[in-house]
Structures are given as structure tokens and as C-alpha cells.
């Protein structure tokens, strides 16, 4: 049977952020967590359930336009009054917004980006920020005063604490059963593997499906880090042939994705069968995925449905363990560091599930894979050498399906064009192309045409997202 993880996190002192249609709710929750107080974003409807928990020390209403006049908000506030929980009403707007009953402004400073700070009765406060002031020192100070002076929180939410708590939870849930994890080599699944292994040791088996679509050196790195360094039980399935055969002659990007997703499930399923009586599946689902796909997110806009390794739990009927269900990506990174994973793993650029297959325009062949893999390795190596790797969200090479004329010595050539892409992004939803230094672009281009056979031209992608996507397919 499919059982999802519990929705509340009862063990930690929590300050709840109630999303009232503001796009800043998540940022507020992050600000709270950066002050080492645990925070969750909930809808007004879910507040009651949360307030029943004694671990809730305070509530921050994150108000969107007109929230003060919204009738559904008043019942949330009544609840709050009856439970005598301290509250901070935060609206982020350039124009003055009205407040609901029970809150009042008592002063304003029109010449500062924080338009009005107010003190209310019964530990209820309201503040209006200009949007950019929310993350400023004064914005953070206001949130901190609320957390520590009003709610009397302690700074308990640290990576070490999160690990300890998570280990306890996992041990309690899993008992003596077995768990399985699909290791991709990405940050989330690597950190999950090490964390869950710490909790239940060899009751966890990781399955690493080698699709043949990984970046250069990635397979070796995953094996040496997770298996050799951390001693995690790991099954390495060499499925390269299977994937190549299935992808033979397929050019359409969505078909490639479906084929890879299905084949992945088939391989993974076979391995699970071999292991027998596995009860749990570990997934690296992040809090941002939960907020995005949950109705609980109230009126925050749904931006994208996330694409994990398609539908595993439904197929396998395993119970889910999602140790990062309450965590943001940067918190997972911090936990990974605390667990001893290297920066090479932690700071690694994101990589799509279907791998290099969606970085080859046209059919996936051995030759195409070799070109794009080598070109990609050069891009990454040079960007690292220039000290820019950690400032960039993603950088990579794409093998286009265009061939152009070149000249080598006296010979005319007619070979492939490789495109280089590098983007800045916060979360992959939007992205801006990186203004790489020209000298660096020159080195990358020279090396690719000289070192990668079959490439005679390199171009740089100067489009942002939107209208382009980050990947070419
Ligand atoms: P796009 O190309 O949609 O990419 O702008 C946004 C982010 O998602 C990654 N991406 C994928 N990840 N499976 C994944 O797991 C996919 O099919 C997939 N397509 C894109 C992409 O690398 C970028 O970080």
C-alpha cells in the first residue's frame, strides 16, 4: 500500500508561516530557518491542525494583496486569539495594505523601505515591507525579534539537530524492515543515501542504474563516494545496452523521456524483486516540491510539476520515506556537508533524470554520447578552472543536429556544432544566461574543436528562461 509521510513535524519548535496569497511566503520561511528556528508554510485551512501542536511557538501571516479584507482569514485569526499564540502579520507591498481585526499599525516611516512597523495587542504585530526589504538586515532583524523576543524560540534548528531528528524518525518508522533507494548521483539522492544509511545501516540498499547517459566520471564518482567512502550497500546495474537499444532511432524529446522513465522503472523493479521483502522506498523529495504540488500551499501559484524518476512508488507499492520533505535545497546541502559529503558532490550542478539523452538533438548513439560527454567535461573543467563553477546554476554542452563546414589544414570538413550553455538561476524555474568572460569562451571553444573528434564549431547560447528552457530538449 502507498503510505505517504506524516504531514506535521511535531518534534521541533516551529514558527508557522500562513500563506495568504503572497509570493513571499517561502522566503519568509527561509528567513526564519536561517535564524535556526524551524518553519513550515501552511494554508489558512491547515492552521488549526498545526496550532494543536504544542511545538508551534508563533505564527507569521504572509499576506498577499487584499488579504486583510479576506473573510476566510478572520477565522484563522480567531483561532490564533483563542490559542493565545503570538502572531506577526507581514505584507510586502509598495502601497499601504489594510489589516485584519486584531492587528493595528502604530507608526510608520515613509522614507524607509520598511513602510510601517506596528505593535498590536496580545502579542500581535504587523509590519509592511517593500518587497526587497524582506531580506535586508532590518527585515531580518524584525523577524528575529519576533522569533526570539516575542515567541521565545531557541536556536534549535541546526543541520546536526535535523540529522539527529531525522535518524530517530527513520529508525522508528522502518523498524527491522528493508528500504530501497534509487541513487542518481545528484545531491538529493546522495545525501538521502548517506543519511538513511546512518539511521538503518545495511537495511538500506541503494540501486544505481547505470543508463549510459551520465556525465563523464559520474558513475565512478558515485560508486567511490557512496559505496567505498560511506560503506552504503549499493547495487550497480550496468543497463547501458538496454537503454541504448530502447532509444535506438528515437529523436522526439518527450519520447526519449518516456522510454528512459519506463526502462528505469523496469530495471529498478527487477532489482527490487531480487532483494525481496522490501517495505520502504526512500525518495529525496524536497519541501519546495511538496509546497508546489500540495493543495496545502493555499493560494501560492503552482509553477511546475516536478519530474522525479517517474512514478516509482505507485508501481512498486512501497511506503515512502522522504527525509527532506521539510527541507529546502540549501538545507539539504548543509546536511550533506555535516554528514561529510564532499563539495564535489554537494555543489554539483543539477542534471536532468534522462541525462545526456536530452542533450543530444536527434537520435542517441554511442558516438553522439561520446561527443557530448567529452565536450561537457571540457566546459565543466574550464569553468571550474576559472573559479566560476559555484556561481553558476548549470553549465553544459549540447550536441546539436546541425553540421557545418570547417577547415582543418587543407582539408574541408563537414561536422557537428556543439552549443555551450551556462545559466544563473535560483530554482530552475527562471534562468538568465551567464555572461562568461570571452577568454574563457575562447579556451572552451578551442579545446572542444581540438580535442573532440567530429566537432568543427562551437556556439554559445544567449537566451534566458523564459522564453527558452534551460535544457534544449
Ligand atoms: P528546463 O529545461 O525545463 O529545466 O528549463 C529546468 C531544470 O530541470 C531540469 N530538467 C529535468 N530534470 N528530468 C529531470 O529530473 C527531466 O526530464 C528534466 N528536464 C529538465 C533541468 O536540467 C533544469 O535544472
**Does 463 contact ligand 1 (Cβ within 6 A)?**
no
CB atoms under 10 Å from CB of 96, counted, come to: 13
Atom of ligand 1 nearest to the CA of 308: 15
Answer whether residue 222 shows pLDDT above 70.
yes
Atom 7 (ligand 1) nearest CA: 428
Q: How remote is the CA of residue 23 from the centroid of ligand 1, in Å?
A: 23
Q: Is the pLDDT of residue 294 over 60?
A: no
What's the pLDDT at 75? Answer: 76
- Does any ligand 1 atom lie closer than 6 A to the CB of residue 427? no
Q: What is the pLDDT of residue 299?
A: 41
Q: What is the pLDDT of residue 105?
A: 61
d(CA 232, CA 195): 10
pLDDT band at 412 (very low <50, low <70, confident <90, very high): very high
What local confidence, expressed as pLDDT, does residue 330 receive? Answer: 87
- For 461-469, what is the mean pLDDT? 97
Is the CB of 465 inside a 6 Å radius of any atom of ligand 1?
Answer: yes
The ligand 1 atom at the shortest distance from the C-alpha of residue 468 is 5
Q: For a substitution probing ligand 1, which of 470, 472, 473 has the most ligand atoms within 8 Å of its CB?
A: 470
- The predicted model gives 60-86 an average pLDDT of 79
Alpha carbon of 352 to ligand 1 centroid (Å): 5
CA of 444 to the centre of ligand 1 (A): 24
The tens digit of pLDDT for each residue in 322-344 reads 999 888 888 999 999 999 999 99
Is the CB of 349 within 6 Å of ligand 1? no
Ligand 1: residue whose CA is nearest its atom 6: 428
Spacing of C-alpha 175 from chain mean position: 29
25: pLDDT strictly greater than 70: yes
- Weakest-pLDDT range from 22-31, 116-125, 393-402, 410-419: 116-125
* 13-150 carries CATH number 3.40.50.2300: no
**What pLDDT score does 7 carry?**
44
The answer, yes or no, to whether any atom of ligand 1 lies below 6 A from the CB of 394, is: yes
Q: Which residue minimizes the CA distance to atom 16 of ligand 1?
A: 352
From the alpha carbon of 425, which atom of ligand 1 is closest? Answer: 24
Residues of the chain with CATH 3.30.300.10: 360-460
Distance, in Å, from the CA atom of 458 to the CA atom of 473, rounded to the nearest integer, reads 18
What's the whole-number mean pLDDT along residues 23-41? 91
pTM of the complete model: 0.81
pLDDT bin (cut points 50, 70, 90) of residue 123 is confident
CA dist list (Å): 423 to 71, 326, 380, 390, 468:
43, 27, 13, 12, 11
Distance between CA atoms of residues 123 and 121, nearest Å = 6
The pLDDT of 18-32, averaged and rounded, is: 90
Question: What are the tens digits of pLDDT across the range 355-364?
Answer: 999 999 999 9
Is pLDDT at 396 greater than 50 in this prediction?
Answer: yes
Sorting pLDDT into bands at 50, 70 and 90, what band is 4?
very low
Report the candidate in 104, 91, 25, 109 with the shortest Cα–Cα distance to residue 296.
25
Top-confidence residue, 8 or 44: 44
Ligand 1: which of 184, 308, 352 to mutate, judged by most atoms within 8 Å of the beta carbon?
Answer: 352
Phi, psi of 324 (to 5 degrees): -105, 20
Q: How far is the CA of 219 from the centre of ligand 1 (A)?
A: 20
Cα distance between residue 143 and residue 31, in whole Å: 8
Cβ of 428 below 6 Å from ligand 1: yes
Q: Are 125 and 116 in contact (CB under 8 A)?
A: no
Going by CATH, does the domain composed of 159-346 fall within 3.40.50.620?
Answer: yes
Q: What's the chain's average pLDDT?
A: 87
- The protein residue with its alpha carbon nearest to ligand 1, atom 19, reads 352
Model confidence at 291: pLDDT above 80: no
Q: In this model, does residue 293 exceed pLDDT 90?
A: no
Residues 119 and 157 sit within 8 Å (Cβ to Cβ): no
323 close to ligand 1 (CB < 6 Angstrom): no
Query: 471 C-alpha vs ligand 1 centroid, how far in Å?
Result: 6
| pLDDT score of 121 | 58
Handedness of CA 435, 439, 443, 446 (dihedral sign): positive
Model confidence at 59, in pLDDT bands (50, 70, 90)?
very high
- Mean pLDDT for 442-453 is 98
CB 281 within 8 A of CB 323: no
Cβ of 354 less than 6 Å from ligand 1? yes
**What is the per-residue pLDDT for 287?**
79
350 pocket-lining for ligand 1 (C-beta < 6 Å): yes
Q: Is the CB of 187 inside a 6 Å radius of any atom of ligand 1?
A: no
Give the Å distances, CA to CA, from 267 to 227, 263, 321. Answer: 20, 6, 21
Give pLDDT, residue 107.
52
CA distance 42 to 38: 13
Can you give 189-224 as a three-state secondary structure string?
A: HHHHHHHHHHHHHHHEEEEEEECCCCCCCHHHHHHH
Q: With 60 as the cut, is the pLDDT of residue 109 above it? A: no
Q: Does the domain spanning 360-460 belong to CATH 3.40.50.2300? A: no
Question: Average of pLDDT values for 180-186?
Answer: 94
From 184, 253, 351, 428, mutation site for ligand 1 pocket: most ligand atoms within 8 A of C-beta = 428
Give span(s): CATH 3.40.50.880, the chain: 13-150
Amino acid at each position: 500500500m502507498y503510505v505517504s509521510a506524516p504531514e506535521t513535524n511535531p518534534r521541533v519548535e516551529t514558527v508557522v508561516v500562513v500563506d495568504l496569497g503572497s509570493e513571499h511566503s517561502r522566503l519568509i520561511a527561509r528567513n526564519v530557518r536561517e535564524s535556526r528556528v524551524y518553519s513550515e508554510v501552511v494554508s489558512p485551512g491547515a492552521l488549526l491542525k498545526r496550532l494543536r501542536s504544542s511545538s508551534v511557538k508563533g505564527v507569521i501571516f504572509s499576506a498577499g494583496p487584499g488579504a486583510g479584507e479576506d473573510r476566510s482569514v478572520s477565522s484563522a485569526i480567531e483561532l490564533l486569539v483563542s490559542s493565545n499564540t503570538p502572531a506577526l502579520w507581514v505584507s510586502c507591498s509598495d502601497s499601504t495594505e489594510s489589516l485584519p481585526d486584531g492587528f493595528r499599525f502604530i507608526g510608520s516611516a515613509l522614507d524607509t523601505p520598511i513602510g510601517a512597523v506596528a505593535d498590536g495587542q496580545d502579542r500581535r504585530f504587523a509590519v509592511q515591507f517593500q518587497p526587497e526589504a524582506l531580506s535586508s538586515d532590518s527585515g531580518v532583524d524584525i523577524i528575529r525579534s519576533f522569533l526570539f523576543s516575542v515567541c521565545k524560540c531557541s536556536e534549535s534548528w541546526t543541520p546536526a539537530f535535523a540529522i539527529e531528528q531525522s535518524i530517530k524518525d527513520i529508525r522508528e518508522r522502518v523498524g527491522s524492515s528493508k528500504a530501497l533507494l534509487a541513487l542518481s548521483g545528484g545531491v538529493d539522492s546522495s545525501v538521502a543515501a548517506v543519511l538513511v544509511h546512518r539511521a538503518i545501516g545495511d537495511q538500506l540498499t541503494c540501486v544505481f542504474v547505470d543508463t549510459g547517459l551520465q556525465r563523464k566520471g559520474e558513475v565512478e564518482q558515485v560508486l567511490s563516494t557512496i559505496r567505498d567512502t560511506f560503506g552504503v550497500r549499493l547495487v550497480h546495474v550496468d543497463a547501458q545496452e538496454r537503454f541504448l537499444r530502447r532509444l535506438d532511432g528515437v529523436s522526439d524529446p518527450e519520447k526519449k523521456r518516456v522510454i528512459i522513465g519506463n526502462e528505469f522503472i523496469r530495471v529498478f523493479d527487477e532489482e527490487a524483486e531480487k532483494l525481496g521483502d522490501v517495505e520502504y522506498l526512500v525518495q529525496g523529495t524536497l519541501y519546495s516540491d511538496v509546497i508546489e504540488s500540495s493543495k496545502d500551499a493555499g493560494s501560492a501559484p503552482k509553477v511546475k510539476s516536478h519530474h522525479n524518476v517517474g512514478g516509482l512508488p505507485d508501481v512498486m507499492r512501497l511506503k515512502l520515506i522522504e527525509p527532506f520533505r521539510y527541507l529546502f535545497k540549501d538545507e539539504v546541502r548543509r546536511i550533506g556537508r555535516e554528514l561529510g559529503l564532499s563539495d564535489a558532490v554537494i555543489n554539483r550542478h543539477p542534471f536532468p533524470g534522462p541525462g545526456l539523452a536530452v542533450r543530444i538533438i536527434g537520435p542517441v548513439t554511442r558516438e553522439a554520447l561520446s561527443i557530448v560527454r567529452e565536450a561537457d567535461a571540457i566546459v565543466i573543467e574550464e569553468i571550474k578552472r576559472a573559479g566560476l563553477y559555484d556561481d553558476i546554476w548549470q553549465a553544459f554542452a549540447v550536441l546539436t543536429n546541425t553540421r557545418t563546414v570547417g577547415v582543418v589544414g587543407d582539408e574541408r570538413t563537414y561536422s557537428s556544432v556543439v552549443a555551450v550553455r551556462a545559466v544563473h538561476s535560483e530554482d530552475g524555474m527562471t534562468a538568465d544566461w551567464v555572461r562568461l568572460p570571452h577568454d574563457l569562451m575562447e579556451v572552451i571553444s578551442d579545446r572542444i574543436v581540438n580535442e573532440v573528434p567530429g566537432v568543427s564549431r562551437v556556439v554559445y547560447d544567449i537566451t534566458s528562461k523564459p522564453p527558452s528552457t534551460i535544457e534544449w530538449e
